[in-house]
Amino acid sequence: MIAQVRAKLPAGDAATLLAIDGSINTDVAAQVKRLTKLTPGATHLFISSGGNDALQNSNVFFVPVQHVGEGMRVMSKLVTAFAQDYRAMLQAVLALDLPVTLCTIYNPCFTAHSPERLGGSFDLMTPTEPARFEQFAVAALMMFNDVIIRAAFEHDLKIIELRSIFTDAADYANPIEPSMQGGEKLARRMVESVKSTPPSLGDTPST
């Protein structure tokens, strides 16, 4: 993915990957602190966080409740905790005083890609359940993404709606990760965002 971004940048511009695979919202503050050391002239910052937080809570789909309202109450508690972590993370990011673009959490693609290798709560699915599990996930992610979208509006930040970018099964390498095709689409959108946002530091845009 980072190579695809670099390939689309003008000569002389650079892109640095700070994210670490498997990270959650509470890990991001430490990651962005590395920015001044790795890329002291950075001019733009993209944040794609929250997907692993949501993934860690996917076992909630199998928690028995007596009615839909009770299920919504359970989800509300998870989303409230998510919001606290996301907002704390965002404060650390905004302290860098760089143009920030947030990304929503993209939907999974269980119907076209087998979830068998993912383990965890996915092991609770039978072979006939991917479509139903995908419905659960898509509905739940609306609640988590609401936190991200509201944060973007509250802080007047740009936002990339990944659910509108990864729209085809070929955009996924597996149920929860983008393919080369998906990465290409996102890289294009990221570079467009950089070009349309004046940098606040330095003369050479980097991400």
pLDDT tens, residue by residue, 148-186: 999 999 999 999 999 999 999 999 998 899 999 999 999
**pLDDT for the residue 19:** 87
User: What is the total residue count of the chain?
Assistant: 207
- The separation between CA 125 and the C-alpha centre of its own chain, rounded to angstroms, equals 24
Q: Where does the pLDDT of residue 119 fall: very low under 50, low under 70, confident under 90, or very high at 90 and above?
A: low
Q: Parallel, antiparallel, or unpaired for β 172-174 and 158-160?
A: unpaired
How confident is the model over 71-86, as a mean pLDDT?
A: 95
Mean pLDDT rounded to a whole number for the chain:
87
- Give residue 70's pLDDT: 92
Helix (H) or strand (E) holding 74: helix 68-94
Both ends of the chain: CA-CA distance in Å?
Answer: 12
Give the span between the Cα atoms of 52 and 25, in whole angstroms: 8
Q: What pLDDT, on the 0 to 100 scale, is given for residue 108?
A: 93
Domains of the chain and CATH, by start: 43-195 (3.40.50.1110)
- In one-letter notation, the amino acid at residue 115 is P
pLDDT exceeds cutoff 80 at 123: no
The pTM of this model reads 0.86
Residue 187 clears pLDDT 80, i.e. is over it: yes
